[in-house]
């Protein structure tokens, strides 16, 4: 009897040593994941880049630029905020769309707070309501960014703000602009966000600002330039894979990448007259990658067709990674 009790006591002791009672963070330090959600094109990625102070997500004027969850990490003295940028919430039809919506669901499932972004230069529409409905019942604290405040006409500002407030509530809302030239209220928004997070330690080393490896950042920067120069259906059919990413002598980073499209006609447009379009995309993306990674880059671009890849689950996970 006695022996058993001693054994149990020894076991307890051991357990206590395994899990230290002292929290490993300074008092009052806050941390957590903020899911950034909204309909396509309201400026979620631009806002995340601005809040983090680094370009972690590519941006374009075309909807559905962001295809997967992307983390942007901001470490300050008193807090570490991990923004999870997500694809715009929309109707899932193709395999790619389903993948994108699963990414949103995963982000919402794992987060500590939700930043709901709307475009205040326009009145709320059906697509905003879909997002609101999706997050309404979630238990996490929610904030609304009335974004693109820089382009709203003064007469419309009050009207639209009132409409968003009527739908979402006005207690946790902030007028913002994420644009480089006109950043507005970002410190104020940060303060609200940090306040909404629980106390906790840093989850990532302070120098880390994204979860994406450099190879993936490079692929995304190439896709950003393709989105920039291509028109109509072609940009949405583009996927980029980086096949080689190697340091070469003379401090040059050698990158070989393939730009995939879905049809031969798109391949023709992507290559352009005399190869002009591909050359332009290549030149601009090399410049962007050099700036981001602060190194000389030798970039080789290839073009391939992978038919109707957006409808093909296997192809989608080849390009974007397996879904968790």
Ligand X SMILES: Nc1nc2c(ncn2[C@@H]2O[C@H](COP(=O)(O)OP(=O)(O)O)[C@@H](O)[C@H]2O)c(=O)[nH]1
Task: Note the residues at the interface with ligand X (CB under 6 A).
Answer: 38, 40-46, 59-61, 65-66, 88, 147-148, 150-151, 177-179
Q: How far is the CB of 285 from ligand X (least distance, A)?
A: 17
Which is closer to ligand X, CB of 32 or CB of 38? 38
- DSSP secondary structure letters along 115-131: EEEEETTS---HHHHHH
Q: Which residues pair with 81 in a beta bridge?
A: 32, 74
Query: For ligand X, which is the closer residue by CB, 61 or 247?
Result: 61
Q: Which does 32 bind (CB under 5 to 8 A by kind): Mg ion, ligand X, none?
A: none
| Least Cβ distance, residue 86 to ligand X (angstroms) | 9
User: Using CB distances below 5 to 8 A depending on partner kind, what does residue 124 bind out of Mg ion, ligand X, none?
Assistant: none
Cβ proximity to ligand X, 157 vs 256, nearer residue: 157
Of 102 and 263, CB closest to ligand X: 102
d(CA 276, CA 299): 16
Q: Which is nearer to Mg ion, 44 or 148 (CB)?
A: 44
Nearest to 141 by CA among 47, 32, 267, 259: 32
| Token output for 95 | 């395999």
Distances (CA, A) of 189 to 49, 121, 198, 200: 14, 18, 16, 20
Least distance from Mg ion to the Cβ atom of residue 69, Å: 11
Contact partner at residue 266 from Mg ion, ligand X, none, CB < 5 to 8 Å by partner kind? none
The site that binds Mg ion (CB under 5 A) totals a number of residues, namely 3
45 forms part of the interface with Mg ion (CB under 5 A) = yes
Q: Residue 97 binds what, of ligand X, Mg ion, none (CB under 5 to 8 Å, by partner type)?
A: none
Q: How far apart are the C-alpha atoms of 111 and 155, rounded to whole Å?
A: 36
Distances (CA, A) of 179 to 52, 144, 320: 13, 17, 27
List of E strands, 205-295: 239-248, 252-261
With binding defined as CB under 5 A, does residue 86 bind Mg ion? no
Query: Smaller CB distance to Mg ion: residue 227 or 271?
Result: 227
SS3 call for 170: coil
Q: Which two tokens stand for residue 87?
A: 């694809």
Residue 72 parent element (H or E): strand 70-75
Separate counts of helices (H) and strands (E) for the chain: 10, 9
**Among 66, 176, 177, 210, contact with Mg ion (rule: CB under 5 A):** 66
**Residue 104 binding target from ligand X, Mg ion, none, CB below 5 to 8 Å by type:** none
Query: Is 147 a residue that touches Mg ion (CB under 5 A)?
Result: no
Binding partner of 74, given ligand X, Mg ion, none, CB within 5-8 angstroms per partner class: none
Number of C-beta neighbours around residue 95 at 10 A: 18
Q: 180 vs 294, which CB is nearer to Mg ion?
A: 180
> Which position's Cβ is nearest ligand X?
43
Q: Which range binds Mg ion by CB under 5 A, 45-53, 138-146, 228-236, 290-298?
A: 45-53
Distance CA 86, CA 70 (A): 7
The partner in contact with residue 179, picked from Mg ion, ligand X, none with C-beta cut-offs of 5 to 8 angstroms by kind, is ligand X
Residue 221 and residue 285 in contact, taking contact as beta carbons nearer than 8 Å: yes
Q: Are strands 252-261 and 239-248 parallel, antiparallel or unpaired?
A: antiparallel
Binding stretches for Mg ion (CB under 5 A): 44-45, 66
């Amino acid at each position: 009897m006695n022996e058993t009790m001693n054994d149990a006591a020894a076991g307890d002791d051991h357990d206590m040593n395994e899990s230290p009672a002292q929290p490993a963070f300074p008092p009052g330090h806050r941390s957590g994941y903020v899911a950034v959600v909204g309909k396509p094109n309201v400026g979620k990625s631009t806002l995340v880049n601005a809040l983090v102070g680094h370009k972690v997500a590519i941006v374009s004027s075309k909807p559905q630029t962001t295809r997967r969850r992307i983390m942007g990490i901001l470490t300050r003295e008193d807090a570490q905020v991990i923004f999870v940028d997500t694809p715009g919430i929309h109707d899932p039809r193709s395999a790619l769309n389903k993948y994108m919506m699963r990414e949103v669901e995963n982000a919402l499932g794992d987060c500590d707070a939700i930043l709901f972004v709307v475009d205040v230069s326009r009145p709320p529409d059906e697509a905003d309501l879909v997002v609101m409905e999706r997050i309404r019942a979630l238990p996490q604290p929610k904030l609304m960014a009335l974004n693109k405040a820089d382009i709203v006409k003064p007469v419309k500002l009050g009207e639209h703000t009132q409409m968003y407030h009527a739908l979402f509530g006005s207690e946790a809302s902030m007028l913002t602009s994420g644009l480089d030239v006109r950043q507005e209220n970002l410190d104020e928004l940060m303060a609200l966000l940090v306040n909404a997070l629980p106390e906790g330690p840093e989850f990532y080393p302070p120098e880390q600002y994204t979860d994406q490896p450099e190879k993936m950042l490079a692929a995304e920067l190439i896709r950003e330039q393709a989105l920039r120069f291509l028109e109509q259906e072609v940009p949405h059919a583009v996927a980029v894979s980086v096949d080689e990413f190697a340091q070469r002598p003379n401090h040059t980073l050698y990158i070989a990448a393939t730009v995939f499209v879905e049809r031969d006609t798109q391949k023709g447009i992507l290559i352009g007259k005399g190869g002009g379009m591909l050359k332009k995309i290549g030149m601009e993306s090399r410049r962007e990658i050099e700036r981001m990674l602060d190194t000389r880059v030798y970039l080789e671009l290839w073009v391939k067709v992978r038919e109707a890849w957006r409808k093909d689950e296997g192809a989608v996970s080849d390009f974007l990674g397996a879904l968790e």
